[in-house]
A and B are shown apart, each in its own frame.
Chain A
């Protein structure tokens, strides 16, 4: 496909940055089109016992279907186009951290109707509550990483 020897690491980095920028823009456009950017819609999707809005299930369905095709394609490739190897999370057992962390995440998601992707994308609308949410979310991440670093074997991702 290409000769790694002829391509400098700087050129590889430029390609990776451009791919990341484009992938981010496609992701943000998809979120905007899908309705996931709207906390009221997200909370309507989670309100299964009330006035349930099932439309956001189609977001997950469409995303997983296309991503699944990419996973099938990946098995035919030895390595990604612009990197030496695929960086995929190792398959570790289901543990307390995974379940407890996901439970905490879900509670916050339900409270505000925002999760990390839509919150970051919605920053460009310049709304004060979104800015507050992103600041608090970053604080939550830093607090977790500091606490995990203190525990032996606590830090993983």
Chain B
């Protein structure tokens, strides 16, 4: 099957989730913010419930499709660890990640989020390109 349709429909579900959280709970569906608040011990019940829900997603997908979603990791463990540190640190410093800035921020047409998305797309592209040139 064409890969664009599942991507589009999956994206729409992500937008639906963000809409639900905003219109019902009045909260922004920013994963780094939710996880950061959970790590700080604020609003634990709702933030923990969202994270548990996230983890229910792949089993739900398996229930419908019969297979787990594919997760192909090629990076070595040290690279994974450094990447995790950068993602955690950077998302807190920049007040958001692909969900908070990328989905909710862009939908709000926030200039801050547009700048953030342009920046992390640029450094993401640069990093992947550099890594491919160094070790093809």
Contact = CB atoms under 8 A, between A and B. Distances in A.
Nearest to B86: A108
B22 A101 contact: no
Interface string A30-50: 111111111111010011111
B124 A101 contact: no
A20 B25 contact: yes
A30 B57 contact: yes
Contacts of A58: 4, 7-8, 11
B93 to A, nearest CB: 3
Nearest to B126: A110
- Give the size category of B's interface with A: 35 or more
Interface in B82-136: 82-99, 101-104, 106-108, 110-112, 115-117, 119-129, 131-132
A141 B92 contact: yes
Contact of B98 (A17, A111, A115): A115
Interface string B25-64: 1111101110110011000011101111111111111000
A32 B10 contact: yes
Interface string A123-157: 11101111011111111111111001000000011
Contacts of B124: 46, 106-107, 109-110
A33 B10 contact: yes
A117 B55 contact: no
Interface residues of A, number: 118
A30 B12 contact: yes
Nearest to A110: B127
Nearest to B105: A89
A25 B51 CA distance: 9
A35 B10 contact: yes
Given A99-B115, A104-B86, A136-B85, A125 B26 contact: no
B97 A20 contact: no
Interface string A43-62: 10011111001011011111
Contact of A133 (B21, B23, B83, B119): B83
